Amino acid sequence: MFISPQISLYIHIPWCLKKCGYCDFHSYVSQSIIPEQQYIEHLLKDLEKDLSLVDYREINTIFIGGGTPSLLQSQSIEKLLNGIKKRSIVSKIAEISIEANPKKLEYKRFINYKKSGINRFSIGVQTFNSNLLRKIERTYNYKEIIDAIKASQKNNYNLNLDLMYGLPDQLLEDALSDLRYAIQYSPSHISWYQLTIEPNTPFYARKIKLPNEDIIFKMLNKGDSLLKKAGYKKYEISSYSKENYQCQHNLNYWNFGDYIGIGCGAHGKITQKNGKIIRTLKNKNMNDFLNGNYLNSINIISDKEKIFEYFMNVFRLYQPVFKKHFREKTNINEMVIEKNIEIAIKEGFLINTIDYWDTTKKGKLFLNSLLEIFLN
């Protein structure tokens, strides 16, 4: 019997005041007035078209990302969330998150965001070091970060702080200092991930130099120990949380759940009743999107793609991967990947039991090498 997977909703707000040199997300730089009311009307129409694809399943999590969603006025966020609830079934205990840039956060906006139904806040700190913030082209400083954190905590937000390590000219002590600052404010969740320079970014073109592998490895190990000692549990490669504060929206991604993606350039993944999985990509051209041309492409993913994408997500988690879960999520029997599993075990990346697979310490450390085995 087919069981429809949990469904999440991702909403893309593509505007930024400035595009950082390392960023490869789809975004627009806008110093002028953002057409937010018009955009929200089209977001809701975009949602209406996608709801039929998911048989109007209950939405369990909502994530408003970007870009810089906190550029939007609180009235716009309220209109957006009210519009979603009128058109779809949203769980009464849904996790509703918004990403925020510290420079644009104001005390009154926090209160109104909360009134509109936002119950989880994610602040893009990256580093508390004002000198390093300039090097990675962020538009705020240490004081603005602290003000943003205090304002969010004053309103009892479930708070995540995004931090990066391996920044240009960053020393080991700089990275550990960032974590100590974060821990001092006791957020419920800390995302701590390595900066990577992606192709087609200004940093890549300028050949920006990052710390060497030895320094980055020390940052990872010592930072991991520091976070765990402070009471944060590592549940995913770059995610740490206090008990019961894991990001439910991201957990749905990593468990190969379904999600609707609305907004300019957003992606979606939807499992059909026949077990096939479709991918949606929304139009990246803002003018086209605002003219009602939302869908750029819709494709059924092959079994080969399905297998690779499944493991690319679930192997990020610090938990066993149950074979029953693999069958349910992919509609593929695990015998198909028997040879791949044997290679992964031989390389020391995986442990195999009757009911589940589990990544070894080596498997987590060399995750890309493990995933390459499932490309064939």
Give Cβ neighbours of residue 161 (< 8 Å, ≥ 6 apart).
122, 123, 125, 149, 182, 185, 187, 189, 190, 191
CA 297, CA 265: separation in Å to the nearest integer? 11
320: Cα separation from own chain's centroid = 21
CA 91, CA 21: separation in Å to the nearest integer? 38
Q: Sign (positive/negative) of CA torsion 309, 315, 319, 324? A: positive
Task: Map out the domains of the chain as residue ranges.
Answer: 7-252, 319-376
Structure tokens at 178: 């960032």
Give Cβ neighbours of residue 368 (< 8 Å, ≥ 6 apart).
none
Query: b/e map of 90-122 (b: 16 or more CB within 10 Å)?
Result: beeebbbbbbbbbbbbeeebbeebbebbbbbbb
CA 184, CA 34: separation in Å to the nearest integer? 36
State the CB neighbour count (10 A cutoff) for residue 14: 23
Please tell me the pTM assigned to this model: 0.94
The reported pLDDT for the residue numbered 29 is 74
Question: Could you tell me the fold of the domain covering 7-252?
Answer: TIM Barrel (3.20.20)
The reported pLDDT for the residue numbered 243 is 95
Which residues of the chain, if any, have pLDDT below 70?
Answer: 1-4, 30-32, 104-108
The reported pLDDT for the residue numbered 2 is 54
Per DSSP, what are the bridge partners of residue 10?
63, 261
Cα-based distances in Å from 225 to 163, 192, 237, 281, 340: 16, 13, 14, 39, 33
The reported pLDDT for the residue numbered 203 is 85
Q: Which among 283, 282, 256 is positioned nearest to 271, based on CA atoms?
A: 256
Query: Pairing relation of β-strands 28-29 and 233-236?
Result: unpaired
Query: b/e map of 41-56 (b: 16 or more CB within 10 Å)?
Result: ebbbebbeebbebbee
The reported pLDDT for the residue numbered 266 is 96
The reported pLDDT for the residue numbered 236 is 97
pLDDT in tens, 70-87: 888 889 999 999 999 999
CA atoms within 13 A on the CB side of 166: 17
